[in-house]
């Protein structure tokens, strides 16, 4: 939990610095904001690994199919990457590109979930027949 508070403090401090720099020199403030965002993301690598390991342990304990865990991790990866890309575009003042990234992520999530949705539909049909 301490790690979260440190991360939050660094993020707020980076935001204040970016805002200050942006008022003096907009391009430099934008570059700083993008760099700070990348550094903050790098700081999350270990917690993301821990979360993935926890999901794998839960799947093993429940004797679930590893395919489902892999699918969930892929979907989380797409979600996080899309959010990062969209926010970076917003930081650069490109709202329309950010919206396209978010839309493409939603489409990719549907594509990734399609096999599971097919299995569920087939199971429902078998149960109701």
Q: 61, 76 in Cβ contact below 8 A?
A: no
| pLDDT tens-place string over residues 25-80 | 888 888 888 888 888 888 888 888 888 788 778 777 766 667 777 788 889 889 98
Cα gap 4→36, rounded to integer Å: 16
Q: Which of helix, strand or coil describes residue 101?
A: helix
Q: Measured at the alpha carbon of residue 86, what is the angle toward residues 82 and 87, in degrees to the nearest 5?
A: 120
Percent of the chain whose pLDDT exceeds 90: 22
Cα gap 102→37, rounded to integer Å: 18
Cα gap 59→70, rounded to integer Å: 10
Percent of the chain whose pLDDT exceeds 70: 96
Question: Residue 111: pLDDT above 80?
Answer: yes
Return the pLDDT at 1: 66
Return the pLDDT at 62: 65
Q: 27, 45 in Cβ contact below 8 A?
A: no
Q: Please tell me the least confidently modeled range out of 13-27, 47-61, 74-88, 95-109.
A: 47-61
pTM value > 0.85: no
Alpha helix positions (H), 1-129: 2-24, 26-43, 45-61, 66-91, 95-128
């Amino acid at each position: 939990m301490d790690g979260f508070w440190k991360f939050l403090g660094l993020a707020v401090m980076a935001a204040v610095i970016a805002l200050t720099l942006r008022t003096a020199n907009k391009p430099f403030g934008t570059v700083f904001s993008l760099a700070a965002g990348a550094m903050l993301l790098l700081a999350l690598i270990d917690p993301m690994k821990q979360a993935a390991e926890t999901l794998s342990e839960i799947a093993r304990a429940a004797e679930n199919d590893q395919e489902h865990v892999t699918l969930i991790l892929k979907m989380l990866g797409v979600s996080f990457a899309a959010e990062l890309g969209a926010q970076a575009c917003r930081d650069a003042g490109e709202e329309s590109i950010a919206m396209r990234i978010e839309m493409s992520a939603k489409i990719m999530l549907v594509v990734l979930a399609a096999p599971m949705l097919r299995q569920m539909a087939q199971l429902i049909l078998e149960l109701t027949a």
